[in-house]
Amino acid sequence: MKYTILFVAISLVYSQLHHHDIALLVDGTFKFVDRNPTDGTLQYDELMGAFHYLDADGSGTVSFEEYIKHHHDNTLQHEIFNNFDTNHDGLLQTSEYVDAPFMAMDHNGDHVVSRTDYDHYYTNMIHHIIQNQHGHTG
């Protein structure tokens, strides 16, 4: 019984730390794209600006090498890149990295994404990626 309680306690701590790590990651990405941090929202042109910043060679696409220069090179970042790369060509186009995510986050179509909607979208995406990494399909 003591071991069961210890296992549950350790699992609970791990899930809280894990959630905390995801929250820090999402917070960091928001700060990266948000050019007007006082308004607490994300405009389409801010996300497009982040895309152009990542597109170091000006090709109109972002390669994984360009992407990873601004992120930690780890399995999760590879999976996030692959999640955005919906046509699986190894490059991110604006339609994949800017247009589709922005439309998914902009629920009311006003071209403004609240911080809550941004956090919800990216947190769900990361949870989905982590579940797939562990062989779960839920």
Residue 69 lies in a domain: yes
pLDDT value for 3 = 37
Range of the domain at 89: 2-133
How many angstroms separate the CA atoms of 45 and 36, rounded?
A: 11
Residue 138 lies in a domain: no
pLDDT value for 12 = 38
The end-to-end CA distance of the chain, in Å, is 30
Whether 69 contacts 57, CB under 8 Å: no
Q: Residues 23-34: pLDDT tens digits? A: 888 998 899 899
Q: Residues 36-78: pLDDT tens digits? A: 888 989 999 999 999 999 999 999 999 999 999 987 767 888 9
Q: Does residue 135 have a pLDDT over 50?
A: yes
Highest mean predicted confidence (pLDDT) among 1-5, 18-22, 34-38, 132-136: 34-38
Residue 32 lies in a domain: yes
pLDDT value for 134 = 66
Q: How many domains does the chain have?
A: 1
Least confident of 28-32, 62-66, 96-100, 103-107: 28-32
